[in-house]
Structures are given as structure tokens and as C-alpha cells.
Homo-oligomer: A and B are copies of this chain.
């Protein structure tokens, strides 16, 4: 079934948006969007969270593909992974484009006085 593949894409997108749906994680993202990879301790320093809480948030972002990490010595450095962001962005572009199209069709429809389909 092509339905299955479709459903997988949907699930993945949902997980990306879900990962973005949290203040703390958006803040982390803002810090990482500066480009520099940062350790858990460093990311924790700027917030009121415990290190373990931050670790969990980073886990959510990682599983959603928004971020990825590499171990360097005793540190675990996290960096932004823009592919997921770009995917989410293009999805929203698509939705709003479809909506615009629908609006334009409706407007034309009304102006032309048509009533067929």
C-alpha cells in the first residue's frame, strides 16, 4: 500500500512538529541556530532546568531529527540538523499555498458568477 509510506511521512512530520511544540526546546533551538555545537552542561547553564531534564529534551529533538550529537571526550556536543527544519517549513509552505489556491478559486468562482463544481 502506498498508504503506508504516506502514513510514515505523516508520522515523521508530526514528530518534528511535536518536538518543536515546547518552549524549552524552542529556546535550545534558538541557541543552536547560532551554529556552534554545544554540550549538555552548557545548554543547561542558560536555563533553570536540571541536566537530566535537558538531556530528555535533547533526546526528543534527536529522535525527531532536528538535532544530532557527537561524543567528544567526556562531552556530548549537539548541533542543529537543518533537514528536519527545512522539511517542516516546506510542508507549511505547501499548506498555505493550497489554502491560497483554494481562496483564489473561490474568488474567481464568485466573480464569474459560476455555480458549476
Binding site for B on A (CB under 8 A): 7, 10-11, 13-23, 26-27, 29-30, 33-36, 80, 82, 85-86, 88-89, 92-93, 95-96, 98-103, 105-106
Q: A14-B23, A35-B106 are in contact. Are A85 and B92 (CB under 8 A)?
A: yes
Query: Is there an interface contact between B99 and A82, defined as CB atoms closer than 8 Å?
Result: yes
Q: Does B89 contact A85, Cβ atoms closer than 8 Å?
A: no
Q: Which of A16, A18, A101 counts the most chain B CB atoms within 10 A? A: A18
Q: Apart from A18-B18, A33-B99, what are 11 other A-B pairs with CB-CB below 8 Å? A: A14-B21, A16-B21, A18-B22, A20-B21, A29-B95, A80-B99, A82-B96, A85-B95, A86-B96, A89-B89, A89-B92
Query: Smallest CB–CB gap between A102 and chain B, Å?
Result: 2
Q: How far is the CB of A7 from chain B (nearest CB, A)?
A: 8
| Across-interface contacts of A20 in B (CB, < 8 A) | 14, 17-18, 20-21
A26: contacting residue among B13, B33, B106, CB under 8 A: B13
Question: What residues of chain B lie closer than 8 Å to A99, measured between beta carbons?
Answer: 33, 35, 80, 82, 85
